[in-house]
Amino acid sequence: MAQNLLWVEKYRPKKIQDVVGNELAKTNFTNWLKDNRRRKKAVLLYGPAGVGKTALVNAASNEFNFTIIEMNASDTRTEKAINKVGKPATSFVALDRFSSESKGNILFLDEVDGVFGQQDRGGIKAIINIVKESLIPVVMAANDTDQKKLRPLKKVCKLIRFQQVRIPLIIHTLRKICAAEGIKPEFEALERIAQNSLGDMRSAINDLQSIAEGKQLLTLQDTIFLTTRNKDIGLYDTLKGMFSAESVPDAAIILNRSSVNFDDFLLSFSDNLPLRYPDKDDLATAYDFLSKADVFRGRVGTENWSLLRYFFHYLAEAATVSPKTFKPFDFIHPPMRIMKLFWTKGKRTKLENICAKIGTRCYVSRNTAKTDIVPFIQIMLKKQKSSPITSWLKLEPEDIDYLLTMNKL
């Protein structure tokens, strides 16, 4: 299997029927697409994350052979920017008639809730204008439509609601992926992943990949490293729980259930180690494990989630160097600020900037740039450090160096 390929991409629905669940929403959307005399020329697909809204639009475009003119609302925040991209798209209709391959064009504004920040008052108005002026059908997708600002938009759209994907359907999909990957899963393992996903198919598939990739057998035991989604253990309790754990698996389970941000947690953990281990040798061993955890945190980066279990493991090792010596102590909390600013913020901002650049050039959101484009650019860069694409994307030499080393440390 090609490295770096996310299963959510590899198993992305090709046809409408591959999008599981939400039958009513799918039928409504398909009927709207097929209807030449549709009453509303815009449709808003809305509902929770990771249930197949974007996937449905793409699958429908494959199946019905129409071309998607995509514009990502969240990265094109101002009225001016929206008009710049959206306006030309509204005049594409004339072109269809001459195209034998495409059955027509659709303007797709994904993640429209992204335009409702503080500064983008004009954004929603511009979108409504696009809907009004568009000569081609407009499809929009959003997570949350309760926001007040969306109301005017709702009036000009047909609304199609998506719900969480039901657990049995998620299990069924995970089972199919396992079969394709040559993995034999225990039913209970798939059930746990599905339940843990809370109906978010994207998370379920990502979780499956993180714990099952490359394995022949997937057991319930493997799922203990899953990050619980309805997380409720904070930083303090995670530290306390891990430091007082009696074994590596016990400590790993606590980390696993925790809601901590991993970068913050690493720093806090490090700050508190000297308090946990009065013995110098224990402390040295613990720091050694911690450094390994840190290496894996770096490698996990934003996509190699399959490595997360090593990160958990080494931290759990660091927490349980000498379980019997645990005595309650006062934690240093929160992590030392200067280190934090120095370390994590810089790293994240850099990647965010690169993804924003790519997003602007490719008309996709930063998130999409991160998940769909960056991995491929990294593969290309490994072969050749500069290419017409890197200059077209306006990547600076330092961006390129960053992308090349991003997952290493």
Ligand X SMILES: Nc1ncnc2c1ncn2[C@@H]1O[C@H](COP(=O)(O)OP(=O)(O)OP(=O)(O)O)[C@@H](O)[C@H]1O
Looking at the Cβ atoms of 69 and 201, the one nearer to ligand X is: 201
CB of 276 to Mg ion, least distance (A): 43
CB of 368 to ligand X, least distance (A): 9
Looking at the Cβ atoms of 12 and 229, the one nearer to ligand X is: 12
Our finding on whether 368 is near Mg ion (CB under 5 A) is: no
Judged by the rule CB under 6 A, the positions of this chain that interact with ligand X are 8, 11-13, 19-21, 49-55, 111, 141, 143, 165, 173, 201-202, 205
Q: Which residues pair with 139 in a beta bridge?
A: 43, 108
Our finding on whether 143 is near Mg ion (CB under 5 A) is: no
Looking at the Cβ atoms of 49 and 404, the one nearer to Mg ion is: 49
CB of 309 to ligand X, least distance (A): 21
Residue 205 interacts with which of ligand X, Mg ion, none, CB < 5 to 8 Å by class: ligand X
CB of 148 to Mg ion, least distance (A): 22
**Three-class secondary structure of residue 42 per DSSP:** strand
Q: State the Cα–Cα distance between residues 366 and 153, nearest whole angstrom.
A: 24
Identified binder of Mg ion from the candidate list 8, 46, 54, 137, rule CB under 5 A: 54
CB of 278 to ligand X, least distance (A): 47
Which residue's CB comes closest to Mg ion? 54
Q: Does residue 13 have a cis peptide bond before it, meaning omega lies within 30 degrees of 0?
A: no
Looking at the Cβ atoms of 53 and 77, the one nearer to ligand X is: 53
Looking at the Cβ atoms of 300 and 364, the one nearer to ligand X is: 364
DSSP H or E run through 242: helix 235-243
Q: State the Cα–Cα distance between residues 181 and 40, nearest whole angstrom.
A: 43
Matching residue, tokens 């429908």: 60
CB of 365 to Mg ion, least distance (A): 9
Three-state SS for 96-120 is: HCCCCCCCCEEEEEECHHHHCCCCC
Residue 51 interacts with which of Mg ion, ligand X, none, CB < 5 to 8 Å by class: ligand X
Question: Between β-strands 184-185 and 138-142, what pairing exists: parallel, antiparallel or unpaired?
Answer: unpaired
Q: State the Cα–Cα distance between residues 255 and 235, nearest whole angstrom.
A: 10
* Nearest CA-CA partner of 113 in 12, 162, 45, 55: 45
**Three-class secondary structure of residue 40 per DSSP:** coil
Residues near Mg ion, by CB under 5 A = 53-54
